[in-house]
A and B are shown apart, each in its own frame.
Chain A
Amino acid sequence: MKTNFLKSILVSFSLIALASCSSDDDGEMDNVNPGQVTLEFDSSFAGNELILGAANAANTNGEALTVTRLNYIVSNIVLVDEDGMEYAYPKENSYFIISEDSNDALADNTKIILEGVPAGEYQAVKFGIGVDKEKYDQGLSGAGDFWDAASAYDMTWSWASGYKYVNFEGGYTTSASGPVGISGEDFKVHLGRASDEVTNYTETTINVPAGSAIIVNEDMAPEVHIITDASALLTAREAVSLEAYGNAIMGGEGAVIVAANVPLVFKVDHVHNNEAGNSSH
């Protein structure tokens, strides 16, 4: 009369997990000769290297930013090959924090290493920025250490519980407020879920430069160098002025505009098709 309720749930979970890496007739791939792929995120500012704590030239809003923190969550990574076939990295392991932070206590996090990627020649990388509704609705189950890690990198809210998808901070000056430098006003751009209707979660697909594929097999360990243009967060699609939003964009219309800019700030700069065991930069 007693059924083994809990165990049967756990068993069915693991069956689902197994099933998701063995289908081949529905557009997914066989996982033969899998290899490792590294995504390296390198921040820039309008074409220049992003140097934390150093002033940048004014943007189209006439605001000159000095960035002290650029942290964001990269999730739901998918690799797309030349035929448009997609390999989705297992969702439960597909949440990462990328961080460049002036706070020395926080180690920079700029690399994502994907293991067990099926052999193939991939032309594009697709990923989310933030935490999708499906994951949010799972609450803490399956979160493992991700919540704690996010909290350590100031990627969680405390007053409105949930994840920050992007935490972009620093100072800025305008021509009216005086010389460019770290002085001026502090700014904070924190992007996250506003409500079930306005989730601010976005996805982007970035192609590799023409002629260079990401070549994956058991002998190769390619590295994909992705450039994240911090400046474009405030300008890519629609310019958003920090001053107009009182130096803080944490929700409302401002966050919606930033969220629409987010998918446009990334591009693949180049790919190193390294042999496994070697790495180059």
Chain B
Amino acid sequence: MTLLAIVGCQNNDDGYTNVSVELEVPAHFPEVTYNLTNNPLTENGIELGRKLFYDGAVSSTGTISCGSCHEQKYAFTHHGHTFSHGVNDLEGTRNTPPVQNMAFLENFAWDGATGHLDLFPVIPITTEVEMDETLENVIEKLKNKSGYKKLFAEAFEDGEVNSENFLLALSQFMVTMISADAKYDKYINNQVQFTEVEQQGLALFEQKCASCHATALFSDGSFRNNGLQPNPKLDDIGRGKVTGFVADNYKFKVPSLRNIAVTGPYMHDGRFGSLESVLAFYNEAVVDSETLDPLLRNNSNLGIATTAEERVAIIAFLNTLTDNTFLKDERFSEK
């Protein structure tokens, strides 16, 4: 399955050719939110973005790259880490979400700290516990690192090594990272059949989960409180910190469930080690609060009731969201 189609090329005075790339959007996906007219994809732009994603020069110690926390085989998450480790092994307070299908999101990070993909990398780069760097410094380092001058020149019309082009290249790369070739997608496209238990799981999922984990992205992009007991040590109020409104306290972005089998641990603070624990939580441990999502409060019953048998079926269905093509796609690899 090819996601990228070559639609044209651009010849530059210096004799190189930069080939335009059109993003192929799977038919069952929602519309692309990223503005591709402002930042048209090109082969060289995407390739530069890939190189930057895996370059430790982006951190103060020169050792932590985007790819250190966002590892491909775990759908670009920091597998096995509750909190992500950055420079000098300092720990953050949030679990690393997957970098996949970014072209379709409205808001980024668990709390929607930014509404534009181009602006997102500023957060990890400048955060002390992550990369502890400044954008200005990163650009200086890249100017002095061999190869980058040429790569920027070949990727962008004005050829400058500057923060605008740096961030546009990272976005180009991330925009192409589409996961849409799981068993579920083949099922939707009538290429494979589900087993009986997967089929049962899908029906249960649609009934109990799909109001929030909606669309082919398995997220409606909204911010909600799904009833996790706040961790008193962190007291992370999520969306409330970004907007400053009390009504947003303890709300987090509904995460995509694509590749969920390989992206553990789960939730914004990585508190659950398995999908069984997640379903057990929805079944019996949802905590009431002022901002608890109304969908999880039916009269006096909190949460989402499931039997042991139903939980097995739901997990069987969730396992159909693993996309091995994406997890091994060389276009996204460090090489």
Q: A-side interface residues toward B, CB under 8 Å?
A: 2-7, 9-10, 136-145, 147-148, 151-152, 156, 158-162, 193-196, 198, 250-255
Across the interface, name the chain B residue whose C-beta is closest to A10. B157
Give the docked Cα–Cα distance between A39 and B120 (Å): 33
Interface residues on B, range: 35 or more
Minimum distance in angstroms from B148 CB to a CB of chain A: 18
Residues of B within 8 A of A193 (CB): 115
Does B30 sit within 8 A of A, measured CB to CB?
no
Residues of A within 8 A of B8 (CB): 2-6
Our pick among B18, B106, B111, B123 for the contact of A158 (Cβ within 8 Å) is B123
Q: Are A137 and B119 in contact (CB under 8 A)?
A: no
Our pick among B7, B162, B246 for the contact of A5 (Cβ within 8 Å) is B7
Our pick among A139, A160, A254 for the contact of B242 (Cβ within 8 Å) is A160
Give the docked Cα–Cα distance between A156 and B121 (Å): 13
Does B118 sit within 8 A of A, measured CB to CB?
yes
Minimum distance in angstroms from A157 CB to a CB of chain B: 8
Minimum distance in angstroms from B85 CB to a CB of chain A: 19
Residues of B within 8 A of A139 (CB): 35, 38-39, 116-119, 167-168, 171
Does B291 sit within 8 A of A, measured CB to CB?
no
Q: Are A158 and B38 in contact (CB under 8 A)?
A: no
Q: Are A9 and B40 in contact (CB under 8 A)?
A: yes
Q: Are B244 and A194 in contact (CB under 8 A)?
A: yes
Q: Are B35 and A138 in contact (CB under 8 A)?
A: yes
Minimum distance in angstroms from B170 CB to a CB of chain A: 10
Q: Are A161 and B246 in contact (CB under 8 A)?
A: no
Can you spell out 13 A-B residue pairs with CB atoms less than 8 angstroms apart?
Answer: A5-B40, A137-B35, A140-B168, A142-B38, A144-B164, A151-B134, A151-B136, A159-B123, A161-B114, A161-B116, A162-B114, A251-B245, A252-B245
Q: Are B136 and A148 in contact (CB under 8 A)?
A: yes
Minimum distance in angstroms from B17 CB to a CB of chain A: 10
Does B195 sit within 8 A of A, measured CB to CB?
no
Residues of B within 8 A of A2 (CB): 8-9
Minimum distance in angstroms from B58 CB to a CB of chain A: 15
Q: Are A140 and B164 in contact (CB under 8 A)?
A: yes
Our pick among A145, A252, A253 for the contact of B162 (Cβ within 8 Å) is A145
> For the complex, would chain B's binding face be called helix, strand, loop or mixed by DSSP majority?
mixed
Residues of B within 8 A of A143 (CB): 163-164
Assuming the contacts A138-B38, A139-B35, A142-B38, asked whether A6 and B20 have C-beta atoms less than 8 A apart, the reply is yes
Residues of B within 8 A of A159 (CB): 113, 123, 127, 241
Give the docked Cα–Cα distance between A255 and B38 (Å): 31
Our pick among A140, A158, A195 for the contact of B127 (Cβ within 8 Å) is A158
Across the interface, name the chain A residue whose C-beta is closest to B33. A137
Assuming the contacts A4-B10, A140-B163, A147-B164, asked whether A161 and B243 have C-beta atoms less than 8 A apart, the reply is no
* Shortest 6 CB-CB contacts between residues of A and residues of B: A251-B244, A252-B244, A5-B8, A139-B118, A161-B114, A141-B38
Residues of A within 8 A of B118 (CB): 139-141
Q: Are B112 and A195 in contact (CB under 8 A)?
A: yes
Q: Chain B 22-44 against A: per-residue CB contact (8 Å), 1 yes, 0 no?
A: 00000000000001011110100
Residues of A within 8 A of B171 (CB): 139-140
Residues of B within 8 A of A147 (CB): 135, 163-164
Residues of A within 8 A of B163 (CB): 140, 143, 147-148
Minimum distance in angstroms from A49 CB to a CB of chain B: 32
Give the docked Cα–Cα distance between A139 and B9 (Å): 24
Does B210 sit within 8 A of A, measured CB to CB?
no
Assuming the contacts A140-B118, A141-B118, asked whether A9 and B244 have C-beta atoms less than 8 A apart, the reply is no
Q: Are A161 and B122 in contact (CB under 8 A)?
A: yes
Q: Chain B 83-108 against A: per-residue CB contact (8 Å), 1 yes, 0 no?
A: 00000000000000000000000100
Residues of A within 8 A of B117 (CB): 139
Q: Are B243 and A252 in contact (CB under 8 A)?
A: yes
Give the docked Cα–Cα distance between A145 and B160 (Å): 11
Central interface residue in A3, A5, A152, A251, by most chain B CB within 10 Å? A5
**Which residues 52-82 in B have Cβ within 8 Å of A in the complex?**
none
Residues of A within 8 A of B40 (CB): 5-6, 9
Give the docked Cα–Cα distance between A152 and B20 (Å): 34
Central interface residue in A10, A195, A254, by most chain B CB within 10 Å? A195
Give the docked Cα–Cα distance between A64 and B42 (Å): 56
| 9 more CB-based (< 8 A) A-B contacts, given A141-B35, A159-B127 | A5-B10, A136-B116, A140-B163, A140-B168, A160-B241, A162-B119, A195-B243, A198-B243, A198-B245
